[in-house]
Amino acid sequence: MAYGFLPIGVLLGTAFLIPILSLKNDKFATYTAFTGCLAAMIITLSMVPQVVSEGRIVYHMESWKAPFGITVVIDNLSIVLSFLSILITFLVIIFSYRYVKERRTKYYSLLCLALVGALGMIVTGDIFNMFVYLEVMSVASYALIAFNKDRPALEASIKYLIMGSLATSLLLLGIAFLYGITGTLNMADISVKISSMTNPLVGISFGLILTGMLVKAGLIPFHAWLPDSYQASPSPVSSIFAGVTTNTGIYAILRVGFLVFNSHHALLWLMTFLGVISMVAGAFLALVQTNLKRLLGYSSISQMGYIAMSVGLGTSLGITGGILHIINQAIIKSLLFLCAAFIVYQTKTDNIYEISGHFKFQPVVAYSFLIGGLSLVGLPLFNGFVSKWLIYIATLQINPVLTVVALMVTVITLAYILKAFYLIFLGNVKPVASEKKIPITMRIPMITLVILIIILGIMPSATIKLSEAMTLSLERTKYIAEVLR
């Protein structure tokens, strides 16, 4: 019985059904992707009651017991992240209906494949499977970045391809070492076997696996691909990257770091160190950008830095704050990228100095951008406030210097968000802004995300409770006991 595998199977089927069904009319690509995503979302939701009552469901593929067969492990953390990933992709599919007008078949197939990779990484309990899904996600992303086939797109794609496949090769090398010393690939089983080993290969394989994951998460020394690909890919795809794929990288670090390597002493130190660097440098680099999508890309690095720093504190409050910030920044960043996508759709430029006085034409987009931006800064009543507040408290308990740094970065975040808002939406009207109405298919995703931001922001106790439950599912001994039962 592999019910847990069903969302992935449905989406994989959808991805290959799209080219067949849209042979005559390529609008069917959108409809098929829409239906497949909706089905996957419903199946994921149908697993929620069982996960809530049991805490963790373990599916064994074809009834092969844990260390031998492939396991699919669904707990609070993975079900929330899979639902979030499917939801964001679903909204992006709706948004893309009017945005992508040619080569729809390829676009939606690749979108579904990228989602398959992300979901697979989130639910799998097998480290080699994680590598395979990571590659599925990466290959789909390489092709999606190059989708426009213009000079920046091709350059960004080849940069990401070389960096990304080197990273996944290092990940495979790490897995090969782990297999060599333990003889198993199940994450729980590896964890049990290496806990009593003093082999130096454990540390080496940990470093290799972590490097591979960090490149996908886009923390600073490994970030070179991220702004380029956010800038050059089709704008709704940037939304997927910000909301789905980088989160998967952070999730994999959390899972592998806390479960397999039992929060290795290097992990926490490294995460805090890289987190602080990414946070500060990402925010400063965002401040000087002239390209809206590049600005948001650097801002994404900065938010990833917040998450990494908070998780690296190692306290349960820090991890809770970090996990909550994963959810919140995914929602906020997808909204901001959808706004950016709409601005690009309307004005055909993404240079913030060329657009001006846009508020008059698009109040809906302006308010969405403002709400998303203020939530990113961490203003009360929006969801960003809750997670940032948790992060401030968690850092204050460990080291007040980190709190000061985090607050300073918040001020810089406010500066670049206001800069972008002021230049794009306020000021004199320039002729470049054309008066095109917002299609309803673009308005619905934006408004959904705005409503999510406000709902999560005015119910902080519920979201904190949720992320505490998600933090508990990172606990190692219980996971091992339930998987190897």
Partner 1 sequence: MIPYLISTILMIIGFYTIMLKNNLIKKIIGLNLFSNGIHLLLISIAYRTGGIPPIMEDLNFIRFSSLAVDPLPQALILTSIVINFSVTAVALSIAILLYREFGTLDMRKIKELWG
Would you tell me which residues interact with partner 1 (CB under 8 A)?
128, 132, 135, 138-139, 142-143, 146, 149-152, 154-159, 161-162, 165-166, 169, 172-173, 176, 179-180, 183, 185, 227-228, 231-232, 288-289, 294
Nearest residue (CB) to partner 1, 155 versus 468: 155
Nearest residue (CB) to partner 1, 48 versus 132: 132
In contact, 341 and 235? CB cutoff 8 Å? yes
Q: Rounded to whole angstroms, how far apart are CA atoms 54 and 64? A: 21
CB of 143 to partner 1, least distance (A): 6
Nearest residue (CB) to partner 1, 240 versus 453: 240
CB of 424 to partner 1, least distance (A): 19
Nearest residue (CB) to partner 1, 124 versus 410: 124
Which residue, 293, 318, 305, 204, is CA-closest to 241? Answer: 293
Q: Is 82 helix (H, G, I), strand (E, B) or coil?
A: helix
CB of 124 to partner 1, least distance (A): 14
Half-sphere exposure of residue 425: CA atoms within 13 angstroms, side-chain side: 19
Which residue, 282, 301, 212, is CA-closest to 249? Answer: 212
Beta bridge partners, 59, equal 72
* Angle, CA 238 vertex, CA 275 and CA 299 arms, to 5°: 35
In contact, 37 and 93? CB cutoff 8 Å? yes
Q: Give me the amino acid identity at 159.
A: K
Nearest residue (CB) to partner 1, 56 versus 294: 294
Nearest residue (CB) to partner 1, 157 versus 303: 157
CB of 385 to partner 1, least distance (A): 31
Tracing tokens 């782990």 back to the chain, one arrives at 178
Nearest residue (CB) to partner 1, 132 versus 432: 132
CB of 156 to partner 1, least distance (A): 6
Tracing tokens 């799998």 back to the chain, one arrives at 124
CB of 356 to partner 1, least distance (A): 22
In contact, 456 and 331? CB cutoff 8 Å? yes
Beta bridge partners, 60, equal 71
357: left (phi over 0), alpha (psi -120 to 50) or beta: left
CB of 177 to partner 1, least distance (A): 9
Q: Give me the amino acid identity at 442.
A: M
